Chains A and B, each alone.
Chain A
Amino acid sequence: EPEVTQTPSHQVTQMGQEVILRCVPISNHLYFYWYRQILGQKVEFLVSFYNNEISEKSEIFDDQFSVERPDGSNFTLKIRSTKLEDSAMYFCASGVTGSMNTEAFFGQGTRLTVV
Chain B
Amino acid sequence: AQTVTQSQPEMSVQEAETVTLSCTYDTSENNYYLFWYKQPPSRQMILVIRQEAYKQQNATENRFSVNFQKAAKSFSLKISDSQLGDTAMYFCAFMKHLGTGGGADGLTFGKGTHLIIQP
Contacts and interface: CB of A to CB of B under 8 A. Distances in A.
A55 B43 contact: no
Interface stretch (B15-23, B63-71, B76-84, B90-98): B90-98
Interface stretch (A12-20, A63-71, A72-80, A102-110): A102-110
B86 interface: no
B107 A100 contact: yes
Contact of B111 (A41, A48, A98, A100): A41
A42 B104 contact: no
A90 to B, nearest CB: 11
Q: Give the top 10 A-B pairs by smallest Cβ distance, nearest first.
A: A45-B106, A98-B104, A106-B45, A48-B104, A55-B104, A31-B104, A43-B109, A42-B111, A50-B104, A42-B109
B109 A56 contact: no
A42 B104 CA distance: 21
A49 B107 contact: no
A104 B61 CA distance: 17
B47 A103 contact: yes
Contact of A48 (B97, B106, B108): B106
Nearest to A45: B106
Interface of A: 31-33, 35, 37, 41-50, 55-56, 58, 89, 91, 93, 95, 98-101, 103-104, 106-109, 111
22 contacts: A32-B104, A33-B106, A37-B43, A42-B110, A43-B45, A45-B108, A48-B104, A48-B105, A56-B103, A56-B106, A95-B104, A98-B98, A99-B99, A99-B105, A100-B35, A100-B50, A100-B95, A100-B105, A101-B33, A103-B47, A104-B47, A106-B46
B102 A103 contact: no
Given A106-B45, A106-B46, A56 B110 contact: no
A106 B93 CA distance: 14
A108 B43 contact: yes
A108 B108 contact: no
A101 B47 CA distance: 12
B44 interface: yes
